[in-house]
Chains A and B, each alone.
Chain A
Amino acid sequence: MKKLTRILMVIVALTSTFTQASEVSFEINGIKSDAGKILIQLFQGKDNYESGNAESALIVKAKTGSVTVNFNELDEGEYIIRFFHDENSNGKLETNLFGAPVEGYGFSNNAKPDFGPVNYSAAKFVVQSRDDKVTNSASVIY
């Protein structure tokens, strides 16, 4: 029995490997300079977003214009992406004394704050299945 279970687990694992082809391609537009880096975080679900528990994170070199990043092998579910242009490469989003960003930033679906913070529902997108291909984009808000 133990042997059978182990064989099944291996089969499941192999199957998963072969079918984990979901991909989120995220394009960031309107980058104003080559200075520094773009730091991008992907969250699964509202709870993880609100608690800052990122599913994945990427850092790419900033490039005037646009850059595209990919998140692969994601489970189906709701996701949200947030990013900022770390112009001075210090690894943190610079803010003013009241906590408002003074470096460029943005969210999936090109969701923007409007007299208040970005709503989760405005920035969320769905990965329908483990072979879903999702494209999304946003402009940097400077």
Chain B
Amino acid sequence: MQRRHFLKGCASLGAGAVIVNSPLKVFASTETARTPQVLNYKALFNDALSQSPELIGFTNVDDDFAPEVLSIEGKIPLDIQGTFYRNGPGKLERGEHRYQHLFEGDGMLQSFTIAQGKIVHKGKFINTPKFQKEQKNKKFLYSGPETVIPDALSVTNADVINTANTNVIAVGDDLWALWEAGSATKVDAKSLEYKEQVILGEHDKYKKTLQGLPFSAHPKVEANGDIWNFGLNSSGHVVLYHLAPNGRAKNVALVNAKYRGGMLHDFLMTEKHLLIILPSLSTKRSFANNRQGGFSRISFDKEQAQRVLVIDKASLTLKKEYELEAGFAFHYGNAWEETDGTIRFDASLYPNADSLHNLSNMMKGEINHSVPNAKAAFYTLSPNGKSSQMILDTNSEFPEVCDHRVGLKNEYLYHLSSKQNSFWSNTVCGFNVNSGKLDSYEFGEEFLVEEHITVCPKQKEGTGYLIGSALHVPSKRTCLNIFNVENISDGPIARAWLSHHLPLGFHGTFKAA
């Protein structure tokens, strides 16, 4: 081998190259060594829990939940047969250490199998490589994006600390549990046993070039089953994925978004385009503020416009860019395109990033009711490059449309809400975007309501069900709720109770039998 060739071959191991470009840099800086927090989050949280029982949803889960046949109120519709899966952080503490941001907890899947009028629940931690090692050693071995664990093992790439804790989708016969800074995690749909971290494109032309790349927790599934997704790299580049329904890579490309916000959670698509919406987040002031954590270093910049990158789906190339007023959203509901090229989409829009940091404050037991809730916001992107926004005075989070309307014009938008500023939602809503009519059901202050997703057996908008969980604080029990979308305000048509509570989680999916 030629010496020059050899040297070139090693070049990727150079000081400036290795890992610098890895998605881990989204989470951490290397210029300054991170130091453990002095505050004892575990003690602070436990003190607060005794005064604020609503914090129960953020307590640590010790073990898996064995299968339990749930007690049912009402009647389960016969056309709902299948399993409702949810994902969220469950392992928040080991020993004396408690994570300092909710996003750091190890993923735990909850499955609710609905068959012949019965519902069986079980919960299982996703046995990721990180979880396996830490479970065996009975302590956190790795620092998280935010939390510094003393004498931690090196985090050599993002998948070392991939907790697979944010969402779950069905791909082929398997489940993919999703994080956002690393690979998808394949899980058996029946046993919930961990299988492997997915190497996208390994059996296609991409070989290992996609290994370990960030894969967001919010892929969009087209009516034909194709999966679209993105991942943010610390370099400001966004990787775009077009996958077949079985997860094989059809097309993958990079776009230089020049985005240094440190976090990008969701995106949208229309029939022809992907919309990468870059919120007004910045990590520029992190050192000045001495904020070293992967989340705490993110700040809202009201002078920084939101940007929308319009990507051509056929070529995965940037076609157009729009600017919007400053704002921040974790989640978007849907986008669609008119025949003249006008694009319309909605967001659950926050006026700043306090909600992100509030998920850290809650980990030490602080409940702050003054943190602004997200509002339902509707945007129009005109072909002439102009944009407009309309923000409703309705609190909105976890927006949803019927599966078969993703990327197409939708009449109904479903979301959670709360009438007052509160730290968690307590209302389920169906909003008719044409008439402006809002149909909602308020669970009451004793409930902490989680994402409700659409199940639409007839594939006809305006029909079908919303299904989701809620934690009843006084009884310390979680219930599963099924709403008829045609009469949400009537309350759930069926409710199934567990004998205990579940940790508050993030996102889920329904897999028909």
A binding-site residues for B, Cβ under 8 Å? 39, 41, 49-50, 52, 54, 57, 59, 82, 84, 86, 90-102, 105, 112-118, 120, 141
Main secondary structure of the interface of B (DSSP, over half): loop
Chain B residues lying within 8 Å of A116, measured Cβ to Cβ, are 19-20, 24-25, 28-30
Residue of B nearest to A95 (CB): B12
Residue of B nearest to A90 (CB): B9
Q: Are B19 and A39 in contact (CB under 8 A)?
A: no
Other-chain contact of B157, A93, A97, A100 (Cβ < 8 Å):
A100
Sampled A-B contacts (22; CB under 8 Å): A54-B7, A54-B10, A57-B6, A90-B9, A91-B9, A93-B11, A93-B13, A94-B209, A97-B252, A98-B213, A98-B233, A98-B237, A98-B239, A100-B19, A101-B12, A102-B209, A113-B19, A115-B28, A116-B19, A117-B15, A118-B15, A118-B18
Number of A-B residue pairs at CB separation under 8 A:
129
B235 contacts the other chain (CB 8 A): yes
B475 contacts the other chain (CB 8 A): no
B315 contacts the other chain (CB 8 A): no
Q: How far is the CA of A97 from the CA of B251 in the complex (A)?
A: 13
B156 contacts the other chain (CB 8 A): yes
Quick one: given A95-B12, A117-B16, are A41 and B155 in contact (CB under 8 Å)? no
Residue of B nearest to A103 (CB): B208
Complex A-B, nearest 10 residue pairs according to Cβ-Cβ distance, in ascending order = A116-B30, A92-B9, A115-B28, A112-B154, A99-B21, A114-B154, A113-B19, A102-B208, A100-B22, A98-B21
Question: What is the CB-to-nearest-CB distance from B241 to chain A, in angstroms, rounded to a whole number?
Answer: 11
Q: Are A99 and B17 in contact (CB under 8 A)?
A: yes
Residue of A nearest to B22 (CB): A100
Residue of A nearest to B10 (CB): A41
B69 contacts the other chain (CB 8 A): no
Q: How far is the CA of A115 from the CA of B160 in the complex (A)?
A: 10
B332 contacts the other chain (CB 8 A): no
Chain A residues lying within 8 Å of B1, measured Cβ to Cβ, are 59, 91
Question: What is the CB-to-nearest-CB distance from B156 to chain A, in angstroms, rounded to a whole number?
Answer: 5
Chain A residues lying within 8 Å of B208, measured Cβ to Cβ, are 94, 96, 102
Quick one: given A102-B211, A118-B15, are A112 and B29 in contact (CB under 8 Å)? no
Question: What is the CB-to-nearest-CB distance from B214 to chain A, in angstroms, rounded to a whole number?
Answer: 8
Q: How far is the CA of A86 from the CA of B210 in the complex (A)?
A: 18
Quick one: given A59-B1, A96-B212, are A113 and B9 in contact (CB under 8 Å)? no
Chain A residues lying within 8 Å of B120, measured Cβ to Cβ, are none
Q: How far is the CA of A95 from the CA of B9 in the complex (A)?
A: 11
